[in-house]
Amino acid sequence: MKTQDTFKFAETHEWASIEDDGLAWIGISNHAQEALGDVMFFQAPKIGQLVKQGEAIAVIESVKAASDIHAPISGEIVALNEEMDAKPEAVNATPYTVWLFKIKPTSTESLVTDLNALMPLAQYEAGPGA
């Protein structure tokens, strides 16, 4: 997986990393995991589910609150991180290495458009949500 310096971030605190295989690995930002506190449960989207950028597609729960996870890009859910079933708290320790699910982009054109709507790390960290 690439480093968070190459990730693109949504205002809703999800990150997307486009890997060499063309899939987008999706996780939550350090800011999100700090705001949530100790993560206890992750309700994943379904494999094969078609998602649109910005759509609430999953839920992550902590001792403090439950929070929606939004799709940072449009596409199809093609993989889930099974570690999140057994150890959802892993996202607290390393939010930029623990991915939640993978999305196959709808098309190259839609991926470019979706990524342009997201922020690089420096902009995300400087923004109002950080």
Domain that holds residue 107: 4-126
pTM of structure = 0.93
How many angstroms separate the CA atoms of 97 and 20, rounded? 16
Residue 112 near residue 8, CB atoms below 8 Å: no
How many angstroms separate the CA atoms of 113 and 47, rounded? 23
Q: What is the CATH number of the domain that holds 94?
A: 2.40.50.100
Question: What tens-digit pLDDT sequence spans the chain (130 residues)?
Answer: 567 789 999 999 999 999 999 999 999 999 999 999 999 999 999 999 999 999 999 999 999 899 999 999 999 999 999 999 999 999 999 999 999 999 999 999 999 999 999 999 999 999 855 5
Helix (H, G, I), strand (E, B) or coil at 4: helix
Residue 41 near residue 60, CB atoms below 8 Å: yes
Q: How many domains does the chain have?
A: 1
